[in-house]
A and B are shown apart, each in its own frame.
Chain A
Amino acid sequence: MSEPENGEIPPGIVLVVEDEFFIAIELESVLSRSGFEVLGPASSVDQALDLLKRQRPDAAVLDVTLGSEKVTPVALLLKSWGVPFVLASASDPAELARHDVFAKVPNLGKPTDMKRLVDVVRSLCSL
């Protein structure tokens, strides 16, 4: 992972929604070290929606369970905008399949392979 070279256009703005602080800052630092501009990390649905009011990302990394709530409203908004996203959730595939908005969305699982995450986010941003 390297710093973006001077004058290079950043590969994209990435929204990060994750309620566990340590995981959130790990995601943030990995993505920003890979040259992405990170929006967030947000720890709740309200906070993520607030951030989305101000800026539209190119891609997003979402955890599904945020304390006692689910990230679904954020996913629905992103979907309606056509912003691609990827999940980084410890949830069961069967549980995720019950929500239409998460079906067919890749889940990188938890603990997340950060190298793979960067690759996936990069491919989403270049869509």
Chain B
Amino acid sequence: MMLEDLYRLLRTGHVQAQGVVDTMTQPIVVLDQSLCVSTANNAFLKTFKVERDDILGESFFDLGNGQWDITELRQLIAAVIPKAAAVIGYEVVHDFPTIGRRTFLVDARHLVHPDDNSTNILVLFDDVTETQRRDTEKDFIISETRHRMKNLFAVVRSLAMRMDAEALTGVDYRDRFLGRLEVTLHAQEIAAINETADFETLLRQSVSEPEMDRLHCEGPTVQIPGSRIVPISMMFHELATNALKYGALSVPKGALHIEWSLEDGSESRSYFVCRWREIGGPTVAPPKRRGYGTELIEGTCRHLGGTVELNFDPKGLAVIIKLPWKHL
């Protein structure tokens, strides 16, 4: 082989190698025996915002006012040199003055020159900052979803436990259970999507469509906070169901009047007060036993720190619900 051919062969090899290194998206730097930079690829210059001329021949740990003088990195390189080994995926977290806090997986490899046994160290950086951030975000979303699922399951279980099952056929129990489950899930859906919900909208949703014109609402615009959407919806669903089965909405002439307002109470606290009145329905008699509906309404009001008065007036059920109110 002619010397010229040999030169051409070497040159081709070199150009190819250089091309591969420059095309790589991961930053690479080669250090000589005294840990000075002998070469760096384009990705290195771009990632760390440095100029080639400013780093070549300079001591790596002194670069950019010592921004590379990272304890972990020193240890890593110190470990590579004597053992002539490669270290793969060593995690380094560091605050860089120009590019901010980054997490790198660093590979370091010992390169031995065939002629003089001099050593070079190839250091390769894999920026996993963004990947790790996305992983954390994903973990959070998964954990949040799992949390909600568990909570929802506990709610469904308690709902089934609380409902009267005595003297009901299986079919009746199932239908009532599903009816209540539907209201709960629907209200949870509203609560999940919205920060707050308009009280009148929630109220109207609890009364079925054909009865809408017999529902008379009067009150200011009130936004119900997310955490209260479910209990308030369920409470009014119970009242409306009761009105439809036994109360004013069970006869054609009957009607519902609902008024609400925000009122000031003692110790500079406010209350949301809602008055529910049934008119023109059949004569009302107090229930013989506390049913699920009554328990739910009383329990919910107490749970929200409020009170409820259920007045079984023979002319029509009258309910006053009073809940402590935080102005949004």
Interface positions of A (Cβ within 8 A of B): 19-26, 41-44, 46-47, 50, 65-68, 90-92, 94-95, 109-112
How many interface residues does chain B have, given as a range? 20 to 34
Contacts of A43 in B (CB 8 A): 227, 231, 303-305
Q: Is B174 an interface residue (CB 8 A)?
A: no
- A-B CB contact pairs (8 Å), 25 listed: A20-B154, A20-B158, A21-B231, A22-B155, A23-B158, A24-B299, A24-B303, A26-B161, A41-B303, A42-B303, A43-B231, A43-B305, A46-B326, A47-B304, A67-B228, A90-B147, A90-B151, A91-B147, A92-B146, A110-B151, A110-B153, A111-B150, A111-B153, A111-B157, A112-B154
- Given A26-B161, A43-B305, A92-B146, are A21 and B300 neighbors across the interface (CB < 8 Å)? yes
Instruction: Please determine whether A110 and B150 come into contact, CB atoms closer than 8 angstroms.
Output: yes
Interface positions of B (Cβ within 8 A of A): 143, 146-148, 150-151, 153-155, 157-159, 161-162, 225-228, 230-231, 234, 295-296, 299-300, 303-305, 324, 326
A21 to B227 alpha-carbon distance, docked (Å)? 11
- Checking B148, B227, B296 against A66 with a beta-carbon cut-off of 8 angstroms, the contacting residue is B227
A1 to B161 alpha-carbon distance, docked (Å)? 16
A50 to B269 alpha-carbon distance, docked (Å)? 13
Contacts of B143 in A (CB 8 A): 92, 94-95
Instruction: Please determine whether B299 and A25 come into contact, CB atoms closer than 8 angstroms.
Output: yes
- Given A21-B300, A24-B303, are A68 and B227 neighbors across the interface (CB < 8 Å)? yes
Contacts of A23 in B (CB 8 A): 154-155, 158
